Amino acid sequence: MLAARVTLPIGIRLSAGIFASAAFLGILKFSSLYPLPSWHAFFIMLGAVSALPLWAIAAFDPMARVVGEIHFALIFIGIMAVLGIIIVVFAHWPLYADVLALLSSCIVIAGGMYSRQWYKLSGGCVLFCAFLLFATKISVSFLKSGDILHLGMGLGLWLSSRSNID
């Protein structure tokens, strides 16, 4: 939905598009409808290393060029994606994606505090907790770390985008 709203800045729409792709592929995978596990893994990585940082920049500085202009948004996504591919895939350091995700959520928190928007702040906190629990493989009750991640991301992204929609 966020990806389709033309009133939103292109940076948010691109990030949302990547998250949506990962989510859709996840549905295909876990429902066994048409599993494409390699693509799900790719878009998860892409989401963590490029879409989340762009989302975080949008939360901190909505007027930034990488958020508002497609030329720079695509360059940002491209460069971050390449860095992510090189570090995660070629250098075999998957922790990079976790680190970037955590850092991005911290930037969202900082953006919420700076602009005094509690939606953004709470969204950032939810994201931070979700990523931390996922990275440390901690389960809570019947919820596994992957469940926490998916729920946390859904809630966190929705909350942190509220100030853009409203």
- Quote the CA–CA distance of 53 and 116 in Å, as a whole number: 20
Specify whether the CB–CB gap between 108 and 59 falls below 8 A.
yes
Answer yes or no whether residue 72 interacts with another protein by CB under 8 A.
Answer: yes
Residues recorded for the chain: 166
Considering only 85, 106, 110, 143, the residue that binds another protein (CB under 8 A) is: 85
Answer yes or no whether residue 70 interacts with another protein by CB under 8 A.
Answer: no
Answer yes or no whether residue 28 interacts with another protein by CB under 8 A.
Answer: no
Considering only 3, 28, 62, 81, the residue that binds another protein (CB under 8 A) is: 81
Give the phi and the psi of residue 5 in degrees, each rounded to 5.
-80, 110
Considering only 82, 91, 138, 140, the residue that binds another protein (CB under 8 A) is: 82
One-letter amino acid of 28: L
Residues 38-57 that bind another protein (CB under 8 A): 38-39, 41-42
The structure tokens listed for 109 are 């928190």
How far apart are CB 40 and another protein at their closest, in Å? 10
Q: Which is nearer to another protein, 24 or 158 (CB)?
A: 24
Answer yes or no whether residue 75 interacts with another protein by CB under 8 A.
Answer: yes
Specify whether the CB–CB gap between 166 and 130 falls below 8 A.
no
User: Which residue, 101, 125, 1, is CA-closest to 49?
Assistant: 101
